[in-house]
Structures are given as C-alpha cells and as structure tokens.
Structure 1
Amino acid sequence: MAVDFRFIVIGRGMMGAAAARHLSSMADGIALIGPREPEERKTHDGVFASHYDEARITRTFDANLAWGTFAARALDRYREIEAKSGISFYSEVGCLYVGPQKAEEDFFRDAVAVSRTLGSDIEAIAPAELGRRFPYFAVDPDFTGYFERRRAGHINPRALVRAQVSLAEQGGVSLIEETVTSVRDAGSHVEVTAGGKSYSAGRVLVAAGGFSNFHTLLPRPIDTRVMARTVVFYEMGEREMAIFGDMPSTIVLGDREEDHIYILPPVRYPDGKTYLKLGGDTERLSFQNLKDAGAWFRSDGSAAERDHLSRIAPQLMPELAGCPVTSGPCVANFTPTGYPYVGFAQSPRIGVLTGGNFVAAKSSDELGRLGAVLLAEGRLGDEDFGRELTPVFAAA
C-alpha cells in the first residue's frame, strides 16, 4: 500500500528534532511528530520534555571516548546550525572541571587522554591557581582543575530545538504538533496514531526520551530508568552579575558523590530574570508511568534536594548567600549500558533513539544524526560506535 511518509520521527525534543533535520538532507517524505512545549506547565496533563530550559552544559572533556566523540561532532556543527537557522543558542564560555586530584585521578587521566584523541585543548590548573583564576569559587586547597576554553560552554536547549525544527521544515519535513499514542508494525509499513489521526510510514524512529515507554510506542519496552532530578535557581542581581557574570560552565567533583554538582553561569530566562542554575545526581525517585512522571513535571522538584543543593552552593560560592532561591523538575533517562540507545526494536521498521544518561544535551545533534543514519541506511558502523549503542529491551 502507499504510505503517507517514508520516515516518521516521533518526539520533537533535542534528539528527535536533530534526527529530522539530518534526515531532511538524506531523503524526502519525512514527518516529525510531537507536541510543542505546554504554555502552562502546572496544569498540563500530557507528555513533557526536559529541554524546557535555557541552559545546558556543553563540553568535550569526558573519560569515555564515545561520549566525547558525540559531543565533539555536535559542537563542530553548532555555528553552522546557528548561521543557517538564524537562531543563536551556543555560548562558548568554556567549561571548568574541578575536584580532588587523588580521588578523581582515574577520571581526569582518562578524560585528558580522550581529549588528546579528539584534538581538544585542555588546560590543567594547579590548586594554587584555581582561586586566582576563578575567584568566585571557594574550593578545597587540594582541588585541581581542568579548563576547556574552546568547544565548551553552554547551549540554550529551547533555542537549539527551534533551530533544528526550523531547518528540518526548510528541508521539507512535515511538522505535526500532536502526541503519538500508538505505533504498530502493520507488516509492510508502520502505523502511527497521533491526535486521533493515523499516519503510515516505511520506518519510524521513536525519540521520546523518558516517555518512550509510557505509550504504546515500541513492540517491547526498553530497559531504562527514568529518574527524578531537581535543579536550583539563584536569582542574580547587579552585585551578583558583577561577580559571576563571566564564569564558565562548571562541574565540581566533590569528596563525596553526593557533593558532585554542575553549575550553569547566569542566564536570562523567559520571566526576564537572570539565574545561576545548579543541580546534582543523587536522587533515587524513578517513574514507571505517565501519571507519575507528569505529576513530577508539574511540581517544583524535591524540597529535600533543593535544601541539599542550597547547602552546598553557598559553601562553594559564598557570594550566593542571600540570593532568592527557587527550584524546578527535570528527569534523567539512564540505560544499563551507560550509552544511548540507537537501534531497531523487534521490528526492523521501528527504531529507537533515547537514553541520554544525564549527559546527552551537548551531544544531541550527533545522536540525532545517528538516528537518521539508522533509518536511512538500516545500520550504524563501528565508526559511529554502533555496537555500543545497541538497545536493551525489557524481558518479554
């Protein structure tokens, strides 16, 4: 039978929008299906996405070659995407890693080796120099630093998605602003239900992030943990901007795992205020269904985690004391392999692209490209880490 589209990408988040853009240069007959960001988060009863934010850290410094490669490939295309779309989203302010040298020596050693492989310029900063170079931080005297000045900083995820969707549409992609509720392999094609309508395609890519298992999108659920994350926002005034305005994105590896945090420099948000944002990776709340995940996204995150981060932040950045503090929800989608999933489900016509593992925003354009290659060519090669990206599915 004739199909409506050759390829359908489900999910217009960071990976899905990127996949649609890349597919538009490979083939015709493409649709991108996914809802826009809800206008009222606290009354919305549908699906959400974690890119509803203004800042995500971007860097290549990573102890894992695959993740470093994904980030480097994406970073190298940022300026081209900005130029072609007319939408700015990348701030190259650099990224600083700090931590106790002895406790984290394996990570730092491996990350430096990966950086050399990728051609990244990483500057080692001795403990005695950290305070002079970055005076707004009060780190322990035995902490060392690694600073990536170029190909690092932060991106605006909302703006990046807008740029990807704009270029996809310019490339002929049909945008359908609906939520997909069903995907079915019909034998010779795939049937997709969204907004009460049915669409057909030769192949489909499910790029629904943490919501991939919450509707009937895959023949069998993927093996993934959708975990709660809380972010904290410090409102910046003129005094704080004079202190923190030129800081880089920063990742602090504390003496204890619960003290690890990431910090985004001051960024202006849609409410007209400027916030310094930080978060951690210690929460254990997970979600098994749409109802619970939706309730989390409608909340302000965990009060306990907000308090925890609010204790750490002023110790590390004393000048934050007295700033108004708010919090918000996010989710992280973890895979047992530690890698994203880019591969086919039990059907050779239904692919899956998900599993950000809390570090994929910076790599989303490259992961989207891999999803596009999967649909267009039917496989990923070793140069794209195809074997590492094989999806794992829940037991039947």
Structure 2
Amino acid sequence: MAVDFRFIVIGRGMMGTAAARHLSSMADGIALIGPPEPEERKAHRGVFASHYDEARITRTFDGNLAWGTFAARALGRYRDIEAKSGISFFSEVGCLFAGPAPRDEQDFLLRALAVSRTLGSDIETVAPAELRQRFPYLNVAPDFSGYFESNRAGHINPRALVRAQAKLAEQGGVSLIEATVTSVRDAGSHVEVTAGDRSYSAEGVLVAAGAFSNFHALLPRRVDLRVMARTVVFYEIGEREMTIFGDMPSTIVLGDREEDHIYILPPVRYPDGKTYLKLGGDTEALSFSRLEEAATWFRSDGSVAERDHLSRIALQLMPELAGCPVTSAPCVANFTPTGYPYVGFTQSPRIAVLTGGNFVAAKSSDELGRLGAVLLKEGRLGDEDFGRELAPVFA
C-alpha cells in the first residue's frame, strides 16, 4: 500500500528534532510528530519534556569515550546549525570541573583526561593553589584541583536548539505535526501511528520520546529504562551578583560523596525577564513507571528536601549567593542499565527507538539524532558509531 510518509520521527525534543533534521538530508517523505511545550505547565495533563529550559552544560570532558565522542561531534556542528537557522543557542563560556585528587586509576577525572587526549580536547589542569585565584566565585576545599575546557564548552539553550533543529528540518522538507502520539503499530508492510484523532502510515518509525518512551503504546515492548525525578534550584541574580558570577564558566564540582556532586549554570536570562543562576545534583529518590506519575511531578516545584540540600551546598560553594531569592523546579532523567543511550531497532524491523539520555545527553543531542537517522535509513550502526554499545535492552 501507499504510505503517508517514508519515515516518521516521534518526539519533538532535542534528539527527535535532530533526527528529523539529519533525515531530511538523507531521504524525502519525513514527518516529525510531537506536542509543543505547554503554555501552562501546572495545568497541563499530557506529556512533558526536559528541554523546557534555557541552559544545559556542554563539554567534551567525559570519562567515557563514547559519550565524549558524541559530545565532540555535536559541538563541531553547533555553529553551523546556528548560522543556517539564524537562531543562537551556544554560549562558549567554557566548563570547569573541580574536585579532590583522584583516588585510583578508575577515578572519573583520570578517565576523562585520557578520553580528552584521545579526542584531542584541550583541557587545562589548574593546581589547587591557583584554582580559587582563577575562579574566585567558587569556595572549594584547598586541596581541590581544576580541569578547565575553554573551547567547545559552556552551555546551550535547549529550547533554542530545538527551535533551530525544527526550523532546518522544515526547510529540508520535513512535515511538522503538532500532536501527541498514543499508538504505534507494526501492520506488516508498514507502521501505523495514531496521533490525536488522526492516523498516519510510514515505512519506518523512530520513537524518540525521551523519558516518556515507555508510556502510551509507542513500542512493541518496553525498554529497560529508569525514569527518575530530579530537582533544580534557581537563584535570582541582581546587579551585585552579576559582578561576581557574570563571567563564570559552566561548573561541575565533584564532592567526596556522589550525592554532594553539583553542577552550576552561569547566570542566564529566562522568559520572565529575570536572570537566574541554576544548579542541580545527582540525588535520585523517586522513580516513575506511569504517565500520570511523571506528569504530576512535572506540575510540581520539585522536592523541598532536595531544594534545601542543594541550597546548603550552593551557599558553601558560593557564599555571595546569600540573600538571593531561591526557587526550584522539577526535572526528569532517564537511565539505561548499560550507561549508554539506546539507538536500535525493537522487535519490529520497522520501529526503532532513540532514548536513554543518562542525564548527560543534552550536549550530544545533535549527534544522537544523527545516529537515529542513520539507523533508520541504513538499518544499522557501525563500530565507528559505537553501534554494539547502543543496542536497546528490553524489560
């Protein structure tokens, strides 16, 4: 039978829009289906996405070669995407890691330095005696060293990146459909996709619905994916604080315990006209297995206990934040048992899945989208793309 589209990408987030853009240069007859960001978050009853924000850290410094490679490839295309779309989203302010001396050869910092050498990334090691002088906004322990990536690092605006990807995809001939997909079914010779009150058919489908990939009936079988609640904290920054924090790079501080790790975004102006310094951590106390649970979380202000925990650490590291108004918001991270993203086919040779950000994928979303596009078009990923590591695990 004749199909409506050759390929359909489900999910208009960071990976899905990237996949649609890349597919537009590989084939004709592409559709990208997904809902827009809700106008009123606390009143919304449908699906959400974690890119509804103004800042995400970007860097190549990573203890895993695959993740470092994905980031480096994506970063290499940022400026081209900006130029072609006319939408700016990348702030190249650099990224600083700060932490205690490595305890053994498996320490993240030593592994990240080895990966950086392989990738040719320029990482400057800052001795403890120089760290607080170079980065005076940060009050860390006297034995902490710094690892500073000044080029191809900083932060991206995820909302703006999604707009840029969608604009270029549409210019490349992709049909953008604003709707929530509730069913994907392999009909034998084609795939049937139900979105809203419409049904669409395609030769192949890529499900890139992030943390919501297991919700509704998008996959023949659920992928093994933990969907975890995260809380982020915002400090409202005034003129005085801007003189202190205005030129800071994106920052990640590694504590002695994992729950004390913290990431910090430099001051960024938000849609409400105010400027906020944002931070978050690695605490995971709540998981979701149903759409209703995740949607309820997204309508909240996050965890009060986690907000207070992050605020205590923030004021220890950045005492000059004292007195700034503090708010919090919900976020969701999804984790795979392999530690890698999933980019592979399901039990159906016509339905593929792209998900599993493991809380580090925003910076790499353009490359992960490209891998999803290659998979759908070519039917496989090679070793140069870490294809075997990216195979989905099913629940």
Runs of 4+ in 1 over 6 A off after TM superposition: none
CA distance in 2 between partners of 1:248 and 1:102 (Å)? 23
Q: Give the structure 1 partner of residue 70 of structure 2.
A: 70
Contact 1:191 1:200 (C-alpha < 8 Å) held by counterparts? yes
CA distance in 2 between partners of 1:145 and 1:223 (Å)? 36
Alignment of 1:1-396 (within 5 A): 1-103=1-103, 106-394=107-395
Contact 2:102 2:110 (C-alpha < 8 Å) held by counterparts? no
Q: Tell me the amino acid that sits aligned with residue 262 of structure 1.
A: Y
Contact 1:74 1:366 (C-alpha < 8 Å) held by counterparts? yes
Contact 2:17 2:32 (C-alpha < 8 Å) held by counterparts? yes
What is the CA distance between 1:13 and its match in structure 2?
Answer: 0.1
Q: Tell me the amino acid that sits aligned with residue 309 of structure 1.
A: L
SS class of match (2:179): coil
What is the CA distance between 1:103 and its match in structure 2?
Answer: 3.9
SS class of match (1:8): strand
CA distance in 2 between partners of 1:253 and 1:372 (Å)? 35
Q: Tell me the amino acid that sits aligned with residue 12 of structure 1.
A: R
Q: Tell me the amino acid that sits aligned with residue 61 of structure 2.
A: F
Q: Tell me the amino acid that sits aligned with residue 33 of structure 2.
A: I
CA distance in 2 between partners of 1:109 and 1:247 (Å)? 24
Q: CA RMSD in A?
A: 0.7
CA distance in 1 between partners of 2:138 and 2:71 (Å)? 26
What is the CA distance between 1:113 and its match in structure 2?
Answer: 1.0
Contact 1:19 1:372 (C-alpha < 8 Å) held by counterparts? yes
Percentage of matched positions with identical amino acids: 86
What is the CA distance between 1:104 and its match in structure 2?
Answer: 7.1
CA separation of 1:256/1:104 partners in 2, compared to 1, >3 Å: closer, same or farther? farther
Deviates more, 1:94-103 or 1:130-139: 94-103
CA distance in 2 between partners of 1:256 and 1:370 (Å)? 34
Q: Deviation digits for residues 3-41 of structure 1, max 9, x if unmatched?
A: 000000000000000000000000000000000000000
Q: Deviation digits for residues 339-381 of structure 1, max 9, x if unmatched?
A: 0000000000000000000000000000000000000000000
Q: Deviation digits for residues 314-359 of structure 1, max 9, x if unmatched?
A: 0000100110000000000000000000000000000000000000
SS class of match (2:333): strand
Q: Deviation digits for residues 288-311 of structure 1, max 9, x if unmatched?
A: 001000000000000000000011
CA distance in 2 between partners of 1:226 and 1:283 (Å)? 10
Contact 2:102 2:109 (C-alpha < 8 Å) held by counterparts? no
Q: Tell me the amino acid that sits aligned with residue 224 of structure 2.
A: D
What is the CA distance between 1:102 and its match in structure 2?
Answer: 3.3
Q: Tell me the amino acid that sits aligned with residue 101 of structure 1.
A: A
Q: Tell me the amino acid that sits aligned with residue 149 of structure 1.
A: S
CA distance in 1 between partners of 2:253 and 2:187 (Å)? 49
CA distance in 1 between partners of 2:32 and 2:75 (Å)? 23
Contact 2:128 2:143 (C-alpha < 8 Å) held by counterparts? yes
Q: Deviation digits for residues 29-86 of structure 1, max 9, x if unmatched?
A: 0000000000000000000000000000000000100000000000000000000000
Q: Gaps spanning 5+ residues in structure 1: where? A: none
Q: Tell me the amino acid that sits aligned with residue 6 of structure 1.
A: R
SS class of match (2:201): strand
Contact 1:283 1:305 (C-alpha < 8 Å) held by counterparts? no
Q: Gaps spanning 5+ residues in structure 2: where? A: none
CA distance in 1 between partners of 2:134 and 2:197 (Å)? 57
CA distance in 2 between partners of 1:296 and 1:72 (Å)? 33
Contact 1:334 1:356 (C-alpha < 8 Å) held by counterparts? yes
CA distance in 2 between partners of 1:211 and 1:131 (Å)? 42
CA distance in 2 between partners of 1:309 and 1:82 (Å)? 33
CA distance in 2 between partners of 1:108 and 1:361 (Å)? 21
Contact 2:59 2:154 (C-alpha < 8 Å) held by counterparts? yes
